[in-house]
Amino acid sequence: MPIPQDRDTFTGNPLVSQTGTLVGVLIGVALSTYLQLEPGKAMALAVFCLLVAWLVVDGTLAARRAWASRTRRDEAPAIFWRRVGTKLVGLAALFGVVVIVCSVFPFFTQSSAIRWIIEASHTTIPISIALAIATILYVAVTDLIAEQPDDYLHQVGRAVLMQDFREEDVLFALRLLAIKCFFLVLMFSGGMAALSDLAEKPAWAFPPLSAAWFEGLLRLAFLLDTVLAAGGYIATFKLFGWHVRATETTALGWLVCLICYEPFFPVISHAFVPYGDGPGWETVIREGSAVFILWSVATLFCTLIYVWATIAFGPRFSNLTHRGIITSGPYRFIKHPAYVAKNISWWLFAAPSFIASGPAEGLARAGMLAIVSLIYVMRARAEERMLSRDPAYQDYAESVAAHGLLAMAKRRLMSKPAA
């Protein structure tokens, strides 16, 4: 079972890491757009460039440090290779579960990501062989440097081979598999759609400061976020310190997270909280006016803060998991910058429509959006409960409480002399 007290292993320069992440995702998106690839290949290329950037900036140095500081174990080679073989059996079993799940449930079978993988499978045999060889080498090297080589993958292999195993480790592996399957397919499919939109309606094709221009920039920000997220769900490599330490175990934690994504949120939003059904901006704010530009810039600014939060995570981005405590970027100032920025941008985007709807309908729709914001508050609280088992997060929370954005604002207000 992952150790709850496993502290963050990041020791590099946060600015270098964030710069490398941003450069990697921008190069990936720019290159896939320049080559005019179809959406599946374009998304795969963008994620590949991002992974390469992470390996160059963070992964290679981390792997060298881990190899240099490894503890040499006094064990026979036969024991080592038997354990590696058991891990490979466990990995193959988990991969088999993925294939079955992606072949049965409509969410997966109807997703553009899975359809693209199936269509491209006949051209990826050499890649699959190379990945299989790389996987064997990776499992062996990771086992050599691990302080505790008897990990969850080994326990899954033992379960498949009908040997004694730790149930909590197998359950952890299944939760991790569910998280990676669901969100990787979701983000990859979203990235494919966003790349198609970028090819058809790039922001630079519209007059600057127009509504279409701002919408194009928002779509570009969404594309960057989905590429970063997809890369994060792939890059769960223990060799580089990017592995999952723990997963969410409560039903409430899973509920308030999953309800924010497809296919759940569109259904719930349409049936219970259709706050977006109403007049457009143009009924309240004239396009091109100073108010329109300021309001649009504020909305875009909040969206960029949200993307910056994802960049700060780098290869450790993931929902429902603990992969190390991030204290850089916007997380220096507030514990949940992504959620705060995302919700503010939604309120800014929807407020003119609420006003145009009239007092009664506007208040009703604002109440609906308030329910969505409440879900994110519950989601933040669930994440804090999970992460608080790590002393590193406790230290981080105390630091933000003492030196964060709210603390600075409070000190500034308290320091003002009375009138």
Q: In this predicted structure, what is the pLDDT of residue 9?
A: 42
- Between CA 312 and CA 307 the distance in angstroms is 9
For the segment 133-154, the average pLDDT, to the nearest whole number, is 94
Q: In this predicted structure, what is the pLDDT of residue 306?
A: 96
- Between CA 174 and CA 158 the distance in angstroms is 15
Report helix, strand or coil for 357: coil
Question: Could you tell me how far CA 348 lies from the centroid of its own chain?
Answer: 24
Contact 195, 46 (CB under 8 A): yes
Read off the pLDDT of residues 27-80 as tens digits, 9 standing for 90 and up. 999 999 999 999 999 999 999 999 999 999 999 999 999 899 888 888 899 999
Residue type, 164: D
Q: In this predicted structure, what is the pLDDT of residue 393?
A: 95
Choose the weakest-confidence range: 47-51, 72-76, 253-257, 396-400. Answer: 72-76
For the segment 331-338, the average pLDDT, to the nearest whole number, is 95
- Residue 204 corresponds to which tokens in the numbers above? 């630079």
| Predicted confidence (pLDDT) at residue 1 exceeds the cutoff of 60 | no
Q: Where are the domains of the chain?
A: 14-415
Task: Give kind and range of the element (H or E) at residue 247.
Answer: strand 246-247
Report helix, strand or coil for 6: coil
For the segment 237-256, the average pLDDT, to the nearest whole number, is 95
414 or 331, which is more confident? 331
Structure pTM? 0.92
For the segment 133-156, the average pLDDT, to the nearest whole number, is 95
Q: In this predicted structure, what is the pLDDT of residue 10?
A: 54
Angle in degrees, CA 88, 93, 99, rounded to 5: 125
Contact 92, 131 (CB under 8 A): no
- Residue 321 corresponds to which tokens in the numbers above? 């998991």
- Name residues whose C-beta falls within 8 Å of residue 323's C-beta, 6 or more positions apart in sequence: 236, 242, 243, 244, 245, 316
Task: Give kind and range of the element (H or E) at residue 246.
Answer: strand 246-247
- Name residues whose C-beta falls within 8 Å of residue 24's C-beta, 6 or more positions apart in sequence: 49, 50, 51, 52, 53, 54, 57
| pLDDT-above-90 percentage for the chain | 75
Choose the weakest-confidence range: 21-35, 119-133, 217-231. Answer: 119-133
